């Protein structure tokens, strides 16, 4: 959960510092859209290799190296205008390249985390198990605007990137010496706990016994369920990245709120995520027990995404600032209410290759996220913010539709 907290601290800090950077550097709104998207392009491009590495060599070691990488480039964001890249290209390109490399470092984080969840949660608690890492997004999103704004007001926007990078290096050290890939490797797990966690299907046992199996890419890429995961998560990523990139600026420039008030109200979508993600996990597991894996996971996704689309549309058309923000925040919360089930399905389909499937799915989710700030900026500039949010709500409905391609009760493991 804290590792997810850290990843979102390092990706959201630019959207909070973006107003100060835009004013100091003289960047246009569309240039800022490209800068905000640069992280997502790097993040999306390395998801599949990052997931494969976690399946092949273990999530613990892969994530340790990844945290050190992205923390170093987070610190370099502070000096991007004075790097040689700014002389060779432009200051905007220097920012974009550094943020792209932060994204490259973070690419293996969520697949690796889901691999850990697969090993450390029982088969009947996968929805609830994945919800903890998703709740970390909400906790980070709630804390980041306040923390970054506080640091910026006292020491400037550059200091916020130094602090975030230093926090990552400290976390990497703790991770390396405390976390294990599987419960059997951890000295704090007793025999009764281990028996409870390994009370699974034979395919789960095989995954633990043979963690370095060759990934069957042909089987994964030709699976209708994997296609449904990828397309559905593309539609999930597009709307949620409005909150990760443009929401703070939307509050300041469109709702005309002060920076201090925007930093406070900008936490509301993430408070909703932190509250609704565990509820989404519990609902998903309940639906599986009641209707089976196939229909249960579909129901959980459809419920969350239809609610999210409706709330986004209502929020964008509400005049009062506070009611509008409440509705939009609830829309973000129900998006992640549904997203929990996508990650749980990655484990349902395969415990051997969870990280590879997770990386493949998250590639599409973050391609949607990469397009989101660019498309949002274009629609907002030419047609207004209401149309931009209407587009996001329509795309959200696509996630509910593609969920019906997914058969969570099929197995992609070797056995």
Sequence spans of domains, the chain: 2-405
At residue 206, does pLDDT exceed 90? no
When the pLDDT of each residue in the chain is averaged and rounded to a whole number, the result is 86
Please list, in sequence order, all residues whose beta carbon lies within 8 angstroms of the beta carbon of residue 100, skipping any fewer than 6 positions away.
38, 39, 41, 42
**Spatial distance between the Cα atoms of 415 and 413, rounded to a whole number of angstroms:** 5
**Spatial distance between the Cα atoms of 306 and 285, rounded to a whole number of angstroms:** 19
pLDDT for 209: 44
Highest mean pLDDT among 54-63, 171-180, 323-332: 323-332
**What's the length of the chain?**
415
Listed range (135-139, 197-201, 274-278, 326-330) with the worst mean pLDDT:
197-201
At residue 247, does pLDDT exceed 90? no
Please give the average per-residue pLDDT across 178-186, as a whole number.
Answer: 84
pLDDT category, 415, cuts 50, 70, 90?
low
pLDDT category, 356, cuts 50, 70, 90?
very high
pLDDT for 14: 83
**Spatial distance between the Cα atoms of 348 and 82, rounded to a whole number of angstroms:** 48
Token pair for residue 401?
């539709």
At residue 205, does pLDDT exceed 60? no
**Position with higher pLDDT, 276 vs 198:** 276
**Spatial distance between the Cα atoms of 142 and 97, rounded to a whole number of angstroms:** 27
Token pair for residue 45?
């491009």
Percent of the chain at pLDDT exceeding 70: 96
pLDDT category, 212, cuts 50, 70, 90?
low
SS3 label, residue 185: helix
Token look-up 């900008």 returns 266
pLDDT for 295: 93
Highest mean pLDDT among 179-188, 252-261, 348-357: 348-357
Please list, in sequence order, all residues whose beta carbon lies within 8 angstroms of the beta carbon of residue 97, skipping any fewer than 6 positions away.
38, 85, 89
Token look-up 């290759």 returns 353
Token look-up 């397009």 returns 371
- H and E: helices and strands count for the chain: 20, 0
pLDDT for 213: 65
CA angle 311, 312, 313 (to 5 degrees): 90
At residue 125, does pLDDT exceed 90? no
**Spatial distance between the Cα atoms of 316 and 389, rounded to a whole number of angstroms:** 6
Pick the CATH number of 2-405 from 3.40.50.300, 1.20.1250.20, 3.40.50.970, 3.60.40.10: 1.20.1250.20
SS3 label, residue 255: coil
Please give the average per-residue pLDDT across 148-164, as a whole number.
Answer: 86
**Spatial distance between the Cα atoms of 190 and 196, rounded to a whole number of angstroms:** 10
Highest mean pLDDT among 64-68, 246-250, 262-266: 64-68
Distances (CA, A) of 389 to 16, 180, 196, 394: 20, 42, 45, 9
pLDDT category, 341, cuts 50, 70, 90?
very high
At residue 190, does pLDDT exceed 50? yes
Predicted TM-score (pTM) of this structure: 0.85
**Spatial distance between the Cα atoms of 316 and 308, rounded to a whole number of angstroms:** 12
**Position with higher pLDDT, 45 vs 139:** 139
Listed range (156-170, 180-194, 285-299) with the worst mean pLDDT:
180-194
Calculate Rg over the CA atoms of the chain.
20
CB 276 within 8 A of CB 334: yes
**Spatial distance between the Cα atoms of 295 and 350, rounded to a whole number of angstroms:** 18
């Amino acid at each position: 959960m804290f590792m997810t907290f850290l990843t979102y601290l390092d990706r959201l800090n630019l959207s909070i510092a973006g107003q100060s950077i835009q004013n100091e550097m003289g960047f246009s709104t569309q240039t800022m859209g490209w800068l905000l998207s640069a992280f997502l392009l790097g993040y999306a491009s390395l998801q599949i290799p990052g997931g494969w590495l976690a399946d092949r060599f273990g999530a613990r070691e892969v994530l340790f190296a990844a945290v050190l990488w992205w923390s170093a480039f987070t610190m370099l964001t502070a000096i991007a205008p004075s790097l040689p890249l700014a002389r060779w290209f432009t200051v905007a390109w220097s920012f974009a390249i550094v943020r792209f490399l932060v994204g490259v470092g973070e690419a293996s984080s969520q697949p690796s985390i889901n691999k850990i969840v697969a090993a450390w949660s029982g088969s009947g608690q996968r929805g609830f198990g994945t919800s903890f890492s998703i709740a970390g997004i909400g906790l980070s999103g709630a804390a980041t605007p306040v923390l970054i704004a506080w640091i910026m007001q006292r020491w400037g926007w550059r200091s916020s990137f130094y602090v975030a990078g230093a926090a990552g290096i400290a976390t990497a050290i703790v991770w390396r010496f405390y976390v294990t890939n599987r419960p059997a490797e951890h000295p704090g797990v007793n025999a009764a706990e281990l028996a409870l966690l390994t009370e699974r299907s034979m395919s789960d046992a095989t995954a633990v016994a043979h963690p370095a199996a060759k990934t069957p890419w042909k089987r994964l890429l030709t699976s209708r369920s994997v296609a449904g995961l990828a397309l559905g998560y593309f539609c999930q990523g597009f709307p949620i990245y409005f909150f990760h990139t443009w929401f703070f600026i939307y509050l300041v420039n469109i709702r005309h709120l002060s920076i201090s008030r925007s930093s406070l109200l900008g936490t509301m979508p993430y408070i909703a995520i932190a509250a609704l993600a565990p509820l989404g996990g519990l609902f998903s597991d309940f639906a599986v027990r009641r209707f089976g894996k196939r229909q249960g996971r579909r129901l959980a996704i459809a419920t969350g995404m239809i609610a999210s689309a409706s709330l986004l549309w209502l929020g964008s058309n509400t005049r009062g600032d506070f009611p509008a923000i409440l509705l939009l925040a609830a829309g973000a919360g129900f998006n992640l209410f549904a997203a929990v089930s996508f990650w749980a399905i990655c484990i349902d389909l395969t415990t051997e290759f969870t990280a590879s499937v997770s990386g493949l799915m998250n590639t599409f989710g973050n391609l949607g996220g990469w397009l989101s700030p660019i498309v949002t900026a274009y629609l907002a500039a030419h047609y207004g913010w209401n149309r931009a949010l209407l587009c996001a709500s329509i795309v959200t409905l696509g996630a509910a539709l593609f969920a019906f391609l997914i058969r969570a009760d099929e197995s992609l493991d070797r056995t």
